[in-house]
Chain A
Amino acid sequence: MLVGFSLAVQKVVAQENLGSHDSSESNFKPYTQNIKNQNFSIEMVPVKGGSFIIGSAKEDAKDPAETPAHKVKVNDFWMSKYEITWQQYDAFVFGEFGSEQFQATEKLAAMGIDAVTGATTPYVEMSFGMGKETHPAVNVTHYAAMQYSRWMTAKTGVFHRLPTEAEWEYACKKGQTDTLDDLSSVAWHSGNTQDKYAKVGQKAANSLGLHDMLGNVSEWVMDQYSKDFYANSPQDNPLNKPTKLYPRVVRGGSWKDDITRQNCTSRQGSTSKWKKRDPQIPKSNWWLTNAPFVGFRLVVPTQQPTPEQMQEYWLKAIKDFGR
């Protein structure tokens, strides 16, 4: 089912939450997000919104799902400079969850956040021995990535979420990521890696300053995957809001994909096979067992949504029986 879902264009809820998130011209610049009681930060890069052509012109399209190319508009947002790393993600998995770990309870209540919980710890080792720390977190479900956004919101008081598919493609295209002669200078792919991902930020950034948009790990975006969404998509900040567990969209290609998959328009849908080796029923809400090539990055929209709209973005878990 296709559901158009416009991004909130609400007045900012709580000014004091925003701090550096004032999007006026003078303040719409890169910033470093510190995270309460953690010894790491997350670098954010501004992406000035605008209109662009999403998808591939028919003669270029390798996949009909990338068509019809059509004009859409996205609002301003910040996007994390790098894919979220294991160090950043494990703080959520293995961290403390007492109220003292987060923003003041009243402040969070105003954002509609009561308790914050973390992912279950995985039974198997999820980096598959490819490296932790500043390597990208992988095998993370779409739900888990959204709950990480919620955790980040509670940690910082600033609304975080996954990018929409349109925002992701906009940031990729506006950054001229796939128009280079030498894609290997920006992307880790099957032709220049040894069957594994690399630490984030080793390849050159795109012109917006975003690293690893192509290659390294594929990245979750908000949307349900639907091959005919582009034929029906709204023009203003489109989002195909997920109502089913599968398929949901990942973008950008990974270390497993060859160079032809490293571009701004290729769309891939998740499948239940990504949890093939989860021996439990129901299968984990939090972990994939067969997707060491799927990670994510976060965005912060300049126009922060209402508490009700925030809940809509973080979605609810759907039980997974693997069939």
Chain B
Amino acid sequence: MKKNKNSSVKNSMPRREFIKNSSLFTGGLLMASSFLSPAYANKVKNDKKLKLAVIGCGGRGTGAVSQALIADKNVELVAMADAFEDRLTDSYNNLNEMFGGAQINVKPTHKFVGFGSYKKAIDEADVVILATPPGFRPQHFEYAVAQGKHVFMEKPVATDVAGIKKVMAATEVAKHKNLNVVVGLQRHYQRSYLEAYKRIKRGAIGDIVSGQVYWNSGGVWVRPRKDNMTEMEYQMRNWYYFNWLCGDHILEQHIHNIDVANWFIGEYPTTAQGMGGREVRNGKDHGQIFDHHFVEFTYPSGAVISSQCRHQPNCMNRVDEVFQGTEGSSYTKSNESELKSYKKGVIYKHQGEDDVNPYQQEHNRLFAAIRQEHEVINDADNGAKSTMTAILGRMATYTGKQVTWDEAMQSNLTLVPDEDSMTFDVKAPVMPDEQGNYPVPVPGKSKLA
């Protein structure tokens, strides 16, 4: 396949309406997510105590707090917010036990429970961790940036197009304010991937023309309905299976591998088409999401990526990425990577068992950037666009149609209500039928939005 960088830029033009910041593009290639900043207005001295708040106190939010506190000893957790009191209490108790009380200074009045509690916790902090189910992320990110906070936010950063636009707009505000934003696509902080990326950018395997990215596993947790739960509480507890909260596993989980394709190719796709459904995991507690998706993403350069994700037990398991370039191929998986030249065989191999934990490295880098004067990290652009890529794939499998990036963006698909208007008693965005089954997308019938 002949790759023409000029034509790739031309092809990508329509997307610029949505990408806005065309300065990120250099001959069709993306620049790294951290950049030199002309102003350092937000830089804080090393001896300043930084106040941390966590929004979303599940296992991952709690883990991210621990990584932040380990990254920088002069950080103190001062506020917590969660929709559920029991989750917040467990998280607080675990952190207190883990740190023996050190760096944990959350007054009882700074534990905020319920919908809308994010604002109060964010107000108390210099740095915030956003780790709720992804549907809420855009609203939390928008508020945190408006208040001038540095952010660590988990992936994905939205579940719908309206959310993506909100994150993109807030990203511009964050750049303007020189706020640091790290997104939990931790492969960007993992040495095996960084080393492979560096060599691919130098041309070690030529231009990438195709690839296969996988997250095929047995599936994740289910939290069954309990007596006395309102519909809203049930969905919030069992959030993985509801699209407005989770976005389906092609987004919530497989985003990692799709994001690697975007990163290594240096572009975002213009079209997607694919197929999917639910064959095995199709009970009432499995809500609306599919248990498999297979998508072809086509990039401006002409590269085509096959993406497959499956949540079915007893099938072949695989979570990794393979790319074919004009001169060689790459393989990346967890802490390993390998580059091969078609002519010379293996040209680079990385076995990174002792590499720094990428989840820790995210926070090491975030707090170093907040304290140092040379760098502002802002992963939010890529976070939003890789999230959008997975949403594009989901739209293709749900509708059974070929979907372009532009159509997807224009659909303005909106799944998530305004959190500030929500309570546990309001009608949930999706409701079960009389038998307790939820509407599942039907290819050929489901619409884009």
Residues of A whose CB lies within 8 Å of any CB of B are 87, 90, 93-94, 120-129, 132-133, 276-282, 290, 319, 321-323
Contact = CB atoms under 8 A, between A and B. Distances in A.
Judged by DSSP, the binding face of A is loop
Contacts of B58: 280
Nearest to B70: A323
Interface string B1-32: 00000000000000000000000000000000
A277 B359 contact: yes
Interface in B41-93: 58-60, 62-67, 91
Nearest to B319: A125
B314 A90 contact: yes
A286 to B, nearest CB: 11
A290 B253 CA distance: 19
B94 A93 contact: no
Interface in B312-336: 313-314, 316-320, 333-335
Contact of B94 (A94, A276, A282, A323): A282
Interface stretch (B203-211, B214-222, B264-272, B368-376): B214-222
A280 B221 contact: no
Nearest to B253: A123
B98 A321 contact: yes
Given A128-B333, A319-B97, A123 B319 contact: no
A121 B219 contact: yes
Contacts of B320: 129
Contacts of A290: 353
A12 to B, nearest CB: 36
Judged by DSSP, the binding face of B is mixed
Contacts of B253: 123
Contacts of B59: 280-282
Contacts, number: 81
B181 interface: no
Contact of A129 (B62, B318, B353, B357): B318
Given A121-B219, A279-B64, A94 B313 contact: yes
Contacts of B67: 279
Contacts of B359: 277, 279
B120 to A, nearest CB: 23
B95 interface: yes
Interface residues of B, number: 37
8 contacts: A90-B313, A93-B313, A123-B220, A125-B319, A128-B333, A279-B64, A321-B94, A321-B97
Nearest to A279: B359
Contact of A121 (B66, B215, B218): B218
B400 interface: no
Nearest to A95: B313
A124 B217 contact: yes
Given A93-B218, A281-B63, A281-B65, 13 more contacts: A90-B314, A94-B219, A121-B220, A122-B218, A125-B217, A128-B333, A276-B357, A277-B357, A280-B58, A280-B63, A281-B59, A282-B59, A321-B94
A277 B333 CA distance: 13
A90 B367 CA distance: 40
A322 B99 CA distance: 11
Nearest to A275: B357
B358 interface: yes
Of B59, B253, B335, the most chain A CB neighbours within 10 A belong to B59
Contacts of B353: 290
B191 to A, nearest CB: 13
A59 to B, nearest CB: 33
Nearest to A120: B221
Interface string B251-273: 00100000000000000000000
B66 A321 contact: yes
Given A94-B313, A124-B217, A129-B320, A277 B358 contact: yes
Of B317, B353, B358, B359, the most chain A CB neighbours within 10 A belong to B317
Nearest to B186: A279
Interface in B125-146: none
Contacts of A281: 59, 62-63, 65-66, 91, 94-95, 98
A90 B218 contact: yes
Contacts of A278: 63
Nearest to B355: A276
Contacts of B335: 277
Nearest to A276: B357
Contacts of B221: 120-121
Nearest to B359: A279
A153 B182 CA distance: 47
Contacts of B91: 281
A226 to B, nearest CB: 25
B345 to A, nearest CB: 15
A129 B218 contact: no
Contact of B317 (A87, A94, A129, A277): A129
Interface string B346-369: 000000010001110000000000
Contacts of B317: 125-127, 129, 132
Nearest to B318: A129
Contacts of A123: 220, 253
A279 B334 contact: no
B60 A129 contact: no
A282 B335 CA distance: 22
Contacts of A321: 66, 94, 97-98
B109 to A, nearest CB: 24
A120 B218 CA distance: 11
Nearest to A282: B94
Contacts of A122: 217-218
Ranked 3 nearest A-B pairs via Cβ: A280-B59, A321-B98, A94-B313
